[in-house]
Structure 1
Amino acid sequence: MHDHLEEIIELYGDYLLRIAYTYVKDQRIAEEMIQDVFLTYYKKQEQFRGEASLKTYLTKITVHRCTDYLRSWKNKKELLIGKFHIRGQTKNIERKYIEKEEKMEVTEAVFSLNVKLREVLLFYYYADHTTKEIAEILSIPESTVKSRLQKARTVLKEKLKGVDLEVLLNGNE
């Protein structure tokens, strides 16, 4: 049982951490979220029915955990505390993480999008999910995913004038 969980953590841990980070924008909190996701899976793995891939299932749990966190008082308290304390070391880790994954200018533009636009964009381009898979992960119609993708592309095009975004702007759903 433990070997199975270790294998799943090895396969999906980094991927889920990146997903969580795109929501909460804090490395420490994203790590806590992923620990919680794997703990939840371990305790309730018999509930996984195999209707979707395990990666999709764990991604869906991650998304739900992150959106719950973003709505929570704990998040609001962390944001308030963050305004009053310099968290230099954490910020350096976060900055290195962002720079590693994307060019800073594009990353900032993507992170400035609201969560609904950001999540479909990242699932589509970064995690390489289809619009159908994204609809399943987010429990929304596929047409909504497509319209959010189009809106995200339009907003990014405006924010990133002069930056080559051909892949983002001409993607095929």
Structure 2
Amino acid sequence: MKPAGIQNKEQFSKDPAEALEQLMDHYGAVVMRTAYFYTGDRHLAEDISQEVFLRSYRKWTSFRGDSTVKTWLTTITVNVCRDKMGVRMFTEQPTDPSRMEQGRTISVEEEALEKLKKSEVLQYLLRLPLPYQEALYLYYYSDLSTKEIADATSSPEGTIRNRLHRAREALAKLINKEESTDDRHR
């Protein structure tokens, strides 16, 4: 089921400047949240978000609309994160969004990230190998289909389906193990 709202390029303005405003309004929080998931650093995620929207502005007229706008922006976000993080991204685990710095007025992006930290499942997700984290995050938190994740990560769709399957199994084992440990301690 697709979320309501603007999904296709035709629904946005043809003018890149107006389209940029619409993109930022509709997908700013998604881009920020995804960048933060990959980097674990709020300031770097903000820089990446700006770069994503700058790239989308520059490429708006050449974007053919073969995918949804959300998938296109997610692809740009993943690529910018990979460019910025380089090898580090594959050796460090993404940071739990609950570790974000607080203490100032909460923006829309920060509010979205705050919702992420409240999810207990995310605590378990962060214990999984990075490819599983990525697949689960993009599928459940970004609401992308396996085809859209495959496009965004330049991976075969079968690989994404396999990662999702294995990630769900691993996640269930972690949760069940934790619950049985909790039961023994009661």
Flag whether TM exceeds 0.5 (same fold): yes
Q: Deviations over 1:67-124 (max 9, x none)?
A: 2222167x8xxx9xxxxxxxxx95347x986552243542222123232111110111
> Displacement, 1:2?
2.3
2: CA distance, partners of 1:14 / 1:34: 9
Unaligned runs of 5+ in 2: 1-15, 93-98, 104-109, 180-186
Partner residue in 1 for 2:58: 43
Which of the residues 1, 4, 7 maps onto 2:22?
A: 7
Q: Give the conservation status (yes or no) of the 8 Å contact 1:23–1:115.
A: no
Q: Deviations over 1:104-162 (max 9, x none)?
A: 54222212323211111011112222212211221211110111011211221222225
Partner residue in 2 for 1:140: 155
Unaligned runs of 5+ in 1: 80-88, 164-173
TM-score, with normalisation over the residues of structure 1? 0.74
Over 3 Å counting, the alpha-carbon distance change for 1:33 and 1:101 in structure 2 is same
Which of the residues 127, 141, 153 maps onto 2:142?
A: 127
Q: RMSD over aligned Cα, in angstroms?
A: 2.8
The amino acid of 1:119's aligned partner reads: E
- The alignment of Structure 1 onto Structure 2 pairs a total of residues equal to 150
TM-score, with normalisation over the residues of structure 2? 0.69
Runs of 4+, deviation exceeding 4 Å? 95-99
Partner residue in 1 for 2:8: none
Give the % identical residues: 37
1: CA distance, partners of 2:60 / 2:113: 32
Partner residue in 2 for 1:91: 101
The amino acid of 1:6's aligned partner reads: E
Larger % of helix: which? 1
